Amino acid sequence: MGYFAKLFSGSKSLVSGMGVTLKELVGTTAQHKAVTLQYPKEKPVLAPAYRSAIKLIRFEETNSHDCVACKACERICPSFCIKLDGGKVEGIKKKRVQTFEMDFALCSLCGLCLDVCPTATLEYSKAYDEAGYNRDWRVDLVAEFRDYEEEFIRKQRAIEEAAAAEKALKAEQAKAAKEKAAKAKAAKEAAAKDAAPKDDAAPKAAKEDAAPKDASGANDGHTDAEDKS
């Protein structure tokens, strides 16, 4: 490229660059479109996935958290920032956490504790503009639930009683189903002894009776029998 051609193309590129910045300048001043967030005056909208220090979820039915102090989170935490302790509480079957301390200064927000939690009672809080003056940033996760502990025990006991009642009912149903199945089996066996080909009614009935699947392994023998038939 010649000397003047180069000079010209260079100048052209400079002018076009200045055009870009002028456009942005006009854009900011005339259209009031600064892209910055005037932080303390405007607050950012947080994404639903936003991660801050973990906290315990307050469940509606018990008005409290559901931590059973299994310590899975304490074991998995790569930063060793969770310390919790708990145990048996009078009146309910579930174990209950007594202290749940978490050092946010150590936390790396990886979310492994949320993954391993068997009762899914951990979630991220949404605090985002907190600051501290020292390295210790211990958060007592149970603190907000202390006042509700009695209420929780009451409600939990009610739930457990209800659950026990349901379980008993189910067990009864299962027992009934088992008996029925046994009867059907006996009938089937009898029918098989009598005449092998025409006996589809009895197993069908047994199948319908055995519908409540969660009634433990009582009907195992029956299904085996049915499969074979």
Partner 1 sequence: MSVDLPTRIDELSTASEECAYEKVGFHQRHTIDASVLIDLARAFFEAGYVLEMITCQDLRAETQKMLLVYSFNRLESVDRQLLHLAIDPDTEQAPTLSMIYSGANWFEREVYDMYGVRFSDHPELERILLPEDADFFALRKDFGRMDEASAGGDEAEEGDDD
Partner 2 sequence: MTNPPRELSPSTEGELYTLNMGPQHPSMHGVLRLVLQLRGEQIVNAKPVIGYSHRAHEKMAENRSALQFLPNSSRIDYLSGMIYNLGYCQAVEKILQIEVPDRAVHIRIIAAELNRISSHLLWFGTFLLDLGGITPFLYSFDDREQILDILDSVTGSRLTYCYGRFGGVTRDVDDEFLERSTAFIKLLRTRLLMYKRLVTDNVILRERCIGVGVISKDTAFRFDVTGPSLRASGVAYDVRKAEPYGGYDRFDFEVPTEEDGDTMSRFHVRIREIEQSCRLIEQAIASMPEGDILPKKMPKRFQIPKGEFYFACESARGHFGIYMVGDGSDIPFKMKLRTPSFSNLSAMPETLRGTMLADTIAIVGGIDIVMPEIDR
Partner 3 sequence: MSQSITDYAPQTITELVGNPWLAMPMAAGIIMGALTVNVLMLVWAERKVSAWIQRRMGPTEVGPYGLLQTLADMLKLISKQLITPANIDKPLYHLAPLMAFAPVVGAVALFPVSRDYVLLDNDLGLLFVFALGGMAVIAIFMAGWGSNNKYALLGAVRSVAQNISYEIPLILSALSVVLVVNAMGGSTASGLNLSHIAWVQSHEHVWFILLQPLAAIIYFISALAETNRAPFDIPEAESELVAGFHTEYSGMRFSLFFFSEYTNMLIVSMLAVVLFLGGWDGPLLPGPAWFFLKSYALIFVMMWVRWTFPRLRFDQLMTFCWTVLIPLSILNLLATALAISVL
Chain residues binding partner 1 by CB under 8 A are 75, 80, 83, 103, 106
Q: Is 36 near partner 3 (CB under 8 A)?
A: yes
Which residue, 9 or 63, has its beta carbon nearer to partner 3? 9
Q: Closest distance between partner 2 and the C-beta of residue 110, in Å?
A: 3
- Quick note: the x/- pattern for partner 2 over 18-47, rule CB under 8 A, is -xxx--x----------x-----------x
For 86-155, give the DSSP string: EEE-TT-SSEEEEEEEEETTT-----HHHHH-TT--EEE----S---SSS--EEETTGGGGGGHHHHHHH
Which residue, 27 or 87, has its beta carbon nearer to partner 3? 27
> Which pair of tokens denotes residue 203?
């197993």
Q: Which of residues 68-107 bind partner 2 (CB under 8 A)?
A: 76-79
- Work out what residue 99 binds among partner 1, partner 2, partner 3, none; the CB cut-off runs from 5 to 8 Å by kind: none
**Among 24, 61, 130, 172, which residue sits at the site for partner 3 (rule: CB under 8 A)?**
24
123: left (phi over 0), alpha (psi -120 to 50) or beta: beta
Q: How far is residue 12's CA from residue 200's CA, in Å, rounded to a whole number?
A: 92
Which residue, 42 or 147, has its beta carbon nearer to partner 3? 42
Q: Closest distance between partner 3 and the C-beta of residue 2, in Å?
A: 13
Q: How many Cα atoms occupy the beta-carbon half-sphere of 154 within 13 Å?
A: 6
Q: How far is residue 7's CA from residue 217's CA, in Å, rounded to a whole number?
A: 89
Among the listed residues 229, 222, 221, 187, the one whose alpha carbon sits nearest the alpha carbon of residue 208:
222
Q: Which of residues 113-142 bind partner 2 (CB under 8 A)?
A: 115, 124
Secondary structure (3-state) at 67: coil
Among the listed residues 82, 120, 126, the one whose alpha carbon sits nearest the alpha carbon of residue 104:
82
Which residue, 103 or 209, has its beta carbon nearer to partner 1? 103
Q: Binding residues for partner 2, per CB under 8 A?
A: 3, 6-7, 9-11, 13-14, 16-17, 19-21, 24, 35, 47-51, 76-79, 108-112, 115, 124
Q: Binding residues for partner 3, per CB under 8 A?
A: 7, 14, 17-18, 20-22, 24-25, 27-29, 33-36, 38
